[in-house]
Amino acid sequence: MLGSSRQSLSALQASVDARRDEPGFDAVSPDLLAVAGVLGGEKSLSVALADAGQAAPVRTGIVESLFASRINPVSLAILKDVVLARWSSELDLVEAVESTGAQAAFIEAEKQGVLDRVEDELFTFGRAVDESAELQMTLTDPSLGADRKGAIVRDIVGPTASPITTELLTYLAGNLYGRRPASAVENLGRIASEQRSQVLAEVRTVIALTDEQKSRLTAALSTLQNRQVRLNVVIDPEVLGGIVVRIGDDVIDGSVAARLEQARRAVTV
């Protein structure tokens, strides 16, 4: 998202967080994810709702007529906030409904004391997808319906996964909208970190880090980012030694592989 869409999403996220203690908030995530699925499959509807040229009462009237009997009052109020905001495209509006649905899920996870668990499960699933070309092809196969893809996800995460994790990944499997599965899961991780004002850092290393090394790295990165950093550590034999840290679009490459590549380039120049 860029420009007005990013500003609208930021304001919307603050509004959702302010509603966390309202009665019925526990239904917001499944409600909004279901709506996002409808909007993603009905382009004419999402275009109409994202059209700032349409009078506000018209847009909220469409939402009221279509969803008032299907979602609870707090979910409906948030959905009306979405369509009253300014979006650069209908895809941004759909993404906003999806993001707020995910945010509501993470708020519930935080209330239940399972947010760490949900984040870890999402990260583990994202790694599994990233490392399996077969799974990537299955989840992006247009011939498979959302129900079938959801069943595959449930088989993978198993019955011991948090219901919140299962709900989010099941939705995502059927509503990728051209995104890479691993990237879509990674985006969920970012939303979860933002919910508690953290930055997510992916750390690649050839060997597991000790608790002391994790603590020192977390402290250093938190100082660098001026925000609390949460680490996701990936064991990657290609690193050879040292570490590679990725925070959003920023990469800090302190690996032996990178230094060897620099040396190779220096010799061949």
Of the two residues 92 and 265, the one the predictor is more confident about is: 92
Residue type, 258: A
pLDDT single digits (tens) 187-199: 998 888 877 765 6
List Cα–Cα distances, 177 to 6, 140, 141, 243, 258, in angstroms. 19, 9, 12, 33, 34
Lowest mean pLDDT among 134-138, 141-145, 149-153, 240-244: 240-244
Task: Kindly state the average pLDDT of the residues 51-63.
Answer: 93
> Which of 105, 116, 119 is closest to 164 using CA atoms?
105
175, 196, 217: which is the final residue of a domain? Answer: 196
Given 3-state DSSP classes, what are the helix, strand and coil percentages for the chain, each rounded to the nearest 5?
65, 10, 25
Evaluate if residue 100 carries a pLDDT over 90. yes
DSSP calls for 73-106: HHHHHHHHHHHHS--SSHHHHHHHHHHHHHHHHH
12 and 76 share one domain = yes
Task: Kindly state the average pLDDT of the residues 207-212.
Answer: 82
Task: Kindly state the average pLDDT of the residues 228-236.
Answer: 77
In whole angstroms, give the CA distance from residue 146 to residue 132: 20
Task: Kindly state the average pLDDT of the residues 11-38.
Answer: 92
Q: Which domain holds residue 164?
A: 113-196
105 and 12 share one domain = yes
User: Burial level of 155, CB count in 10 A (0-12/13-18/19+)?
Assistant: exposed
In whole angstroms, give the CA distance from residue 196 to residue 262: 38
> Which of 57, 60, 67 is closest to 81 using CA atoms?
60
Of the two residues 268 and 58, the one the predictor is more confident about is: 58
Q: What percent of the chain has pLDDT over 90?
A: 51
pTM: 0.74
Provide the number of structural domains found in the chain: 3
User: Burial level of 142, CB count in 10 A (0-12/13-18/19+)?
Assistant: exposed
Evaluate if residue 65 carries a pLDDT over 90. yes
10 and 101 share one domain = yes
Evaluate if residue 252 carries a pLDDT over 70. yes
Task: Kindly state the average pLDDT of the residues 151-155.
Answer: 92
- H or E element at residue 250: strand 250-253
110, 143, 165: which is the final residue of a domain? Answer: 110
Query: pLDDT-derived band of residue 267, with 50, 70 and 90 as boundaries?
Result: low
| Token pair recorded at residue 95 | 């993404």
41 and 137 share one domain = no
Evaluate if residue 236 carries a pLDDT over 90. no
Task: Give residue 6's pLDDT.
Answer: 86
166 and 223 share one domain = no
Evaluate if residue 9 carries a pLDDT over 70. yes
180, 196, 212: which is the final residue of a domain? Answer: 196
221 and 131 share one domain = no
Task: Give residue 259's pLDDT.
Answer: 59
- The neighbour count for residue 234, using CB atoms within 10 Å, is 15
49 and 137 share one domain = no
Of the two residues 201 and 200, the one the predictor is more confident about is: 201
- The neighbour count for residue 3, using CB atoms within 10 Å, is 11
34 and 82 share one domain = yes
Task: Give residue 38's pLDDT.
Answer: 95
13 and 67 share one domain = yes
CATH number at residue 136: 1.10.520
In whole angstroms, give the CA distance from residue 125 to residue 136: 12
Evaluate if residue 201 carries a pLDDT over 70. yes
CB contact at 8 A, 31 and 71:
yes
Task: Kindly state the average pLDDT of the residues 99-103.
Answer: 95
210 and 192 share one domain = no
Task: Give residue 73's pLDDT.
Answer: 95
93 and 155 share one domain = no
In whole angstroms, give the CA distance from residue 131 to residue 82: 36
CB contact at 8 A, 170 and 154:
yes
Query: pLDDT-derived band of residue 258, with 50, 70 and 90 as boundaries?
Result: low
Lowest mean pLDDT among 75-84, 110-119, 236-245, 248-257: 248-257
Evaluate if residue 171 carries a pLDDT over 80. yes
23 and 65 share one domain = yes
Pairing of strands 250-253, 243-247: antiparallel
